[in-house]
Amino acid sequence: MTASKVRAALDRAAAVGAGREGLNILVAVNPRAEDDAALSVVGRSEQELPLSGEPVAVKDNIATLDMPTTCGSRILAGYVSPFEATVVRRLRDAGAVILGKTNMDEFAMGSSTEHSAYGPTRNPVDPSRVPGGSSGGSAAAVAAGIVRMALGSETGGSVRQPASFCGVVGVKPTYGRVSRYGLVAFASSLDQVGVLGRTVDDAALALGVIAGRDPLDATSAERAVPDYRADVRRAATAAAPLAGVVVGRPREYFPVAMHGGVRDRCAVALDALVRLGATVRDVSMPHTDYAIPVYYIVAPAEASSNLARFDGVRYGARVSADALAAMYDATRSQGFGPEVTRRILLGTYVLSAGYYDAYYKRAQEVRALITQDFRRVFADGVHLLFTPTTPTPAFPLGAISDPYEMYLNDIFTATANLAGVPAISIPIGLADGLPVGGQIIAPHFGEGPMLAAAAALERALGASPLTTPPSPAAARS
Domain coordinates of the chain in residue numbers? Answer: 2-241+390-401+461-476
DSSP 412-465: TTHHHHHHT--EEEEEEEEETTEEEEEEEE-STT-HHHHHHHHHHHHHHH-S--
SS3 248: strand
Q: What is the pLDDT of residues 51-60, one digit of tens each?
A: 999 999 999 9
Q: What is the pLDDT of residue 475?
A: 45
Query: Has residue 48 got a pLDDT over 80?
Result: no
| Pairing relationship of beta strands 149-154 and 55-59 according to DSSP bridges | parallel
Interval 250-269 mean pLDDT: 95
Residue 44: pLDDT band with limits 50, 70, 90: low
Interval 59-70 mean pLDDT: 97
Interval 308-319 mean pLDDT: 90
Q: Which CATH superfamily is 2-241+390-401+461-476 part of?
A: Amidase signature (AS) domain (3.90.1300.10)
Query: Has residue 474 got a pLDDT over 90?
Result: no
Q: What is the pLDDT of residue 299?
A: 97
Query: Has residue 467 got a pLDDT over 70?
Result: no
Q: What is the pLDDT of residues 177-226, one digit of tens each?
A: 999 999 999 999 999 999 999 999 999 999 999 999 999 999 999 999 99
Sheet with 97-102, edge to edge strand ranges: 26-29, 97-102, 55-59, 149-154, 192-197, 169-172, 423-431, 434-441, 384-388, 246-250, 279-283
Query: Has residue 2 got a pLDDT over 80?
Result: no
Query: Has residue 301 got a pLDDT over 70?
Result: yes
Interval 298-306 mean pLDDT: 97
The rounded percent of the chain whose pLDDT value lies above 90 is 88
H or E stretch covering 26? strand 26-29
Residue 466: pLDDT band with limits 50, 70, 90: low
Interval 305-319 mean pLDDT: 91
Query: Has residue 364 got a pLDDT over 70?
Result: yes
Query: Has residue 468 got a pLDDT over 60?
Result: no
Catalytic sites, residue numbers: 59, 134, 158
pTM (2 d.p.): 0.95
Residue 37: pLDDT band with limits 50, 70, 90: confident
Q: Are residues 169 and 163 in contact, defined by beta-carbon separation less than 8 angstroms?
A: yes
